[in-house]
């Protein structure tokens, strides 16, 4: 007989009921994260999230959504982190993501005003690592954040802001460290809830079934040899940006990473590899087609065809979509149809687009610093 409190049992039972329906997995996982926020070591709740994320239609939808941003054959490490970050954004139902865009939450959205400049500078460094793969920037970001946390008159909001940036950009280990520090210093149930989710993603990201196998960029380079043999390398792009910064006379960072790169490499080499034993074998998706790809243009995926139909009256956009996605491979849908909740009302696009004036995310008051 389980020793869980009755309300935890009810929470997981409700999650199972919601998670069986098409598009219900994210909401069901959110219920599990509520349980993990209260009981961080609750294995059943953690495994239930993974069970939901193995749903065939969820895998299909996430693969299609990710492919619109990153080709599945692009195995560069920073692109895998971007896939993780995008997946996290697709699946997270933590209410703080939307709350910060409502009136009265500018401080939460942009950070406390006394350290806002330093926070934005640190975020810019993280974005360079996220978008370009310039990993040196991750080391430069933390000293800026640490300075802001030390200097601000509102460390609770600052810690939450920093933790959110790390989670939003796929740096889950860093997010966990910051949010754990926040929860150790302040009684913040909202942050504890986000911490539970970031921790799950840190520990389980390696076995998400819709992510292609990680790599070192060799598959990407092979495909690019077909598509554009003269395309600059990532290293060349980063080097060019650094040179451009010098030419424009922009100051280089006057701080140093908190961890020496050589020491960081030594620590990484000593860590055990991610435990893949808990992932299904064989995997839920057969990724062998990635290494068998002949690099030739082929049939467009269904989502690209839908976009072309949507813009059928603008031939330039249609041609652009066809040209840009010639190497995006079709993704086969599951053989069984999705299971819809019979109690759900029909989808109404007009109702979906309706916004309450008080909750209008696009009506922000920049003077509001509450």
If you write DSSP's letter for every residue of 295-312 in order, what string do you get?
----PPPHHHHHHHHHTT
Would 201 be classed as within a structural domain? yes
Using pLDDT thresholds of 50, 70 and 90, give the confidence band for residue 346. confident
Would 185 be classed as within a structural domain? yes
Strands (E), 233-356: none
The pLDDT, as a whole number, for residue 357 is: 47
Indicate the helix (H) or strand (E) that contains 64: helix 56-67
The pLDDT, as a whole number, for residue 339 is: 94
The pLDDT, as a whole number, for residue 250 is: 60
Would 249 be classed as within a structural domain? yes
Using pLDDT thresholds of 50, 70 and 90, give the confidence band for residue 1. very low
Q: Does the structure show a pLDDT above 50 at 28?
A: yes
Angle at the Cα of 193 from the Cα atoms of 141 and 49, rounded to 5 degrees: 105
Angle at the Cα of 151 from the Cα atoms of 149 and 152, rounded to 5 degrees: 70
132 or 265, greater pLDDT: 132
Query: Which residues neighbour 196 within 8 Å (Cβ) at sequence distance 6 or greater?
Result: 33, 34, 36, 37, 40
Would 63 be classed as within a structural domain? no
Q: Tell me the pLDDT tens digit for each residue of 230-272.
A: 888 888 888 877 777 677 766 666 655 555 555 456 545 544 4
Q: Does the structure show a pLDDT above 60 at 86?
A: yes
Angle at the Cα of 146 from the Cα atoms of 143 and 151, rounded to 5 degrees: 125
Query: Which residues neighbour 16 within 8 Å (Cβ) at sequence distance 6 or greater?
Result: 28, 48
Q: How far apart are CA 88 and CA 169, in angstroms?
A: 9
Identify the CA nearest to 287 among candidates 72, 58, 81: 72
Q: How far apart are CA 196 and CA 37, in angstroms?
A: 5
Q: Are 94 and 108 contacting, i.e. CB atoms less than 8 angstroms apart? A: no
What total of structural domains would you count in the chain? 1
Please spell the DSSP secondary structure of 182-235, one letter per residue.
HHHHS--HHHHHHHHHHHHHHHHGGG-TTSPPP--SHHHHHHHHHH-TTPPPHH
The pLDDT, as a whole number, for residue 364 is: 57
Q: Which residue has the tokens 């922009």?
A: 250
Q: Average per-residue pLDDT in the chain?
A: 88
Q: Does the structure show a pLDDT above 70 at 171?
A: yes
The pLDDT, as a whole number, for residue 231 is: 87
Would 224 be classed as within a structural domain? no
What average pLDDT does the segment 17-28 reach? 97
The pLDDT, as a whole number, for residue 64 is: 98
Q: Does the structure show a pLDDT above 80 at 108?
A: yes
Domain that holds residue 243: 77-211+232-271
Q: Tell me the pLDDT tens digit for each residue of 191-215.
A: 999 999 999 999 999 999 999 999 9
Lowest mean pLDDT among 129-143, 151-165, 278-292: 278-292
What average pLDDT does the segment 316-320 reach? 96
Query: Which residues neighbour 264 within 8 Å (Cβ) at sequence distance 6 or greater?
Result: 139
Lowest mean pLDDT among 141-150, 176-185, 246-255, 277-286: 246-255
Percentage of the chain beyond pLDDT 70 is 85
194 or 279, greater pLDDT: 194
Q: Does the structure show a pLDDT above 70 at 170?
A: yes
| Local structure of 56: helix, strand or coil | helix
Q: Does the structure show a pLDDT above 60 at 97?
A: yes
Query: Which residues neighbour 251 within 8 Å (Cβ) at sequence distance 6 or greater?
Result: none
Q: Does the structure show a pLDDT above 80 at 296?
A: yes
The pLDDT, as a whole number, for residue 262 is: 58
Q: Which residue has the tokens 């692109």?
A: 79
Identify the CA nearest to 213 among candidates 331, 67, 80: 80
Q: Does the structure show a pLDDT above 50 at 359?
A: no
The pLDDT, as a whole number, for residue 246 is: 73
Would 64 be classed as within a structural domain? no
Q: Does the structure show a pLDDT above 50 at 148?
A: yes
Q: Is the bond leading into 15 cis (omega within 30 degrees of zero)? A: no
Would 148 be classed as within a structural domain? yes
């Amino acid at each position: 007989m389980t020793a869980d409190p009755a309300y935890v049992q009810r929470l997981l039972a409700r999650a199972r009921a919601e998670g069986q329906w098409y598009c219900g997995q994210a909401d069901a996982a959110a219920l599990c994260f509520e349980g993990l926020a209260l009981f961080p070591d609750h294995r059943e709740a953690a495994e239930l999230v993974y069970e939901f994320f193995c749903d065939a239609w969820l895998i299909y939808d996430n693969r299609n959504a990710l492919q619109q941003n990153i080709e599945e054959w692009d195995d560069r490490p920073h692109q895998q982190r971007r896939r993780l970050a995008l997946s996290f954004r697709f699946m997270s139902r933590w209410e703080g993501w939307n709350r910060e865009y409502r009136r009265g939450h500018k401080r939460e959205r942009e950070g406390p005003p006394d350290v806002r400049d330093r926070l934005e500078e640190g975020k810019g460094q993280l974005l360079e690592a996220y978008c370009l793969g310039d990993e040196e920037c991750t080391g430069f970001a933390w000293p800026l954040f640490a300075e802001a946390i030390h200097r601000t008159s509102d460390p609770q909001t600052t810690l939450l802001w920093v933790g959110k940036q790390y989670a939003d950009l796929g740096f889950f280990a860093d997010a966990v460290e910051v949010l754990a520090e926040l929860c150790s210093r302040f009684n913040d149930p909202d942050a504890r809830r986000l911490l539970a989710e970031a921790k799950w993603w840190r520990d389980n990201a390696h076995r998400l079934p819709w992510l292609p196998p990680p790599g070192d960029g060799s598959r990407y380079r092979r495909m690019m040899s077909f598509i554009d043999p003269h395309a600059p390398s990532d290293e060349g792009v980063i080097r060019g940006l650094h040179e451009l910064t010098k030419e424009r006379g922009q100051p280089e960072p006057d701080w140093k990473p908190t961890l020496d790169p050589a020491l960081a490499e030594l620590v990484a080499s000593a860590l055990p590899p991610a435990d893949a034993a808990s992932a299904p074998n064989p995997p839920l998706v057969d990724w062998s087609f990635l290494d068998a790809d002949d690099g030739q243009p082929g049939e467009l995926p269904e989502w690209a065809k839908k976009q072309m139909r949507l813009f059928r009256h603008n031939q330039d956009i249609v041609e652009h979509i066809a040209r840009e996605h010639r190497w995006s491979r079709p993704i086969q849908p599951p053989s069984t149809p999705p299971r819809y909740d019979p109690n759900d009302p029909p989808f109404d696009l007009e109702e979906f687009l309706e916004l309450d004036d008080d909750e209008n995310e696009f009506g922000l008051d920049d003077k509001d610093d509450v």
